Amino acid sequence: MKKYVIERSIPGVGSLNRDALHAASANSNNILDELGPDIQWVQSFVTRDKIYCVYFAANEHLIREHAQRAGLPADSVSPVFALIDPTMGSVYAGAI
């Protein structure tokens, strides 16, 4: 499966309380169960007016199908081509 980052514009989402976020998560999980094993939610980052989600999926169509069924926007769906982190800048990276 490929890794994707999804950008969802939801004005005011950062002010939702824990119960509202829990309900949204439960709804999303129910839709994922319906769609089957070819899509997996990894995690999401909630900002003031957007949510950035990381998913594994067989294709972009499944990501968009999930969003549509869950009533969520999917402003952009971007496949991840590489992962970088601070250790890549180390002189010693890969030395062992």
Res 92: pLDDT: 62
* Distances in whole angstroms, Cα of residue 39 to Cα of each of 1, 22, 23, 31, 81: 8, 20, 20, 10, 18
The rounded average pLDDT for each run of 10 residues, N- to C-terminus, in the chain (96 residues) is 97 97 96 98 98 98 98 97 88 58
Domains with residue ranges and CATH for the chain: 2-89 (3.30.70.3090)
Res 95: pLDDT: 55
Q: Enumerate residues 6+ apart whose C-beta is below 8 A from 45.
A: 51, 52, 53
Res 93: pLDDT: 56
Tokens read off for 7 = 């950008």
Q: Measure the CA–CA gap between 25 and 45, rounded to whole angstroms.
A: 12
Res 89: pLDDT: 81
Res 32: pLDDT: 98
Q: Identify the H or E element spanning 47.
A: none
